[in-house]
């Protein structure tokens, strides 16, 4: 067990090193584009586009979707979608170099894979829903927001981490 622990800490980057590089990347992104990083926006584009293809009239009459369908450009054709494609590729390359590419369900030995997948699906739905209400997720609202001292970014960050600690006890069986 001890040996495995040491092995893990060697294969992942030192968190301060990763954080430092991520900070430089945020500076670079703001310097070039005037905006920060994002993640949930790309998935919103996928949802808007899918709805538009399946139910065009419905999408255009919906007050939320229609905000993103006004222009002639497809919502897939935006910055965040390309960024997300780059993210998938970058994470894949990192995983490939470190030998972490493996199809598996990661879960605590105390719970089943099915339970893990159900909670992942429900947790994802909550997160997606909350990210729309707060106008951004951990990347776009909290991290990029704090980088420019946005008041909203700080409130969102405190709310995400604060509520996480509040509900951690309820979900402890899934993790520890």
Tell me, by CB under 8 A, how many residues bind another protein.
123
- Give the Cα separation of 33 and 11 in Å (integer): 33
When asked if residue 69 is in the footprint of another protein (CB under 8 A), the reply is: no
60, 108, 111, 173: residue in contact with another protein (rule CB under 8 A): 108
53, 56, 73, 164: residue in contact with another protein (rule CB under 8 A): 164
60, 86, 111, 112: residue in contact with another protein (rule CB under 8 A): 86
Q: What is the DSSP letter of 102?
A: -
When asked if residue 44 is in the footprint of another protein (CB under 8 A), the reply is: yes
- Give the Cα separation of 87 and 168 in Å (integer): 28
When asked if residue 4 is in the footprint of another protein (CB under 8 A), the reply is: yes
When asked if residue 149 is in the footprint of another protein (CB under 8 A), the reply is: yes
What count of residues does the chain have?
Answer: 176
53, 60, 111, 117: residue in contact with another protein (rule CB under 8 A): 117
Name the burial class of residue 96, with classes exposed (0-12), middle (13-18) and buried (19+) by CB atoms within 10 angstroms of its CB.
exposed
When asked if residue 19 is in the footprint of another protein (CB under 8 A), the reply is: yes
Question: How far does the chain reach from its first CA to its final CA, in angstroms?
Answer: 16
The label of the residue with tokens 């090193």 reads 17
When asked if residue 110 is in the footprint of another protein (CB under 8 A), the reply is: no
When asked if residue 131 is in the footprint of another protein (CB under 8 A), the reply is: yes
- Give the Cα separation of 108 and 169 in Å (integer): 16
When asked if residue 24 is in the footprint of another protein (CB under 8 A), the reply is: yes
């Amino acid at each position: 067990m001890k040996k495995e622990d040491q092995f893990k800490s060697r294969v992942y980057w030192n968190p301060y090193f990763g954080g430092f590089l991520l900070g430089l990347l945020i500076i670079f992104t703001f310097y070039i584009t005037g905006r920060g990083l994002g993640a949930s926006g790309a998935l919103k584009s996928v949802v808007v586009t899918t709805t538009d293809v399946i139910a065009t009239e419905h999408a255009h009459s919906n007050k939320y979707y229609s905000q993103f369908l006004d222009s002639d450009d497809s919502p897939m054709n935006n910055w965040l979608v390309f960024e997300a494609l780059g993210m998938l590729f970058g994470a894949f390359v990192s995983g490939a170099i470190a030998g972490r590419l493996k199809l598996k369900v990661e879960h605590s030995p105390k719970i089943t894979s099915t339970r893990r997948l159900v909670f992942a699906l429900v947790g994802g739905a909550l997160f997606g829903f909350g990210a729309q209400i707060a106008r951004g997720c951990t990347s776009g609202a909290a991290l990029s927001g704090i980088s420019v001292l946005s008041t909203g970014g700080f409130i969102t960050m405190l709310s995400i981490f604060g509520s996480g600690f509040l509900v951690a006890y309820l979900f402890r069986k899934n993790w520890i």
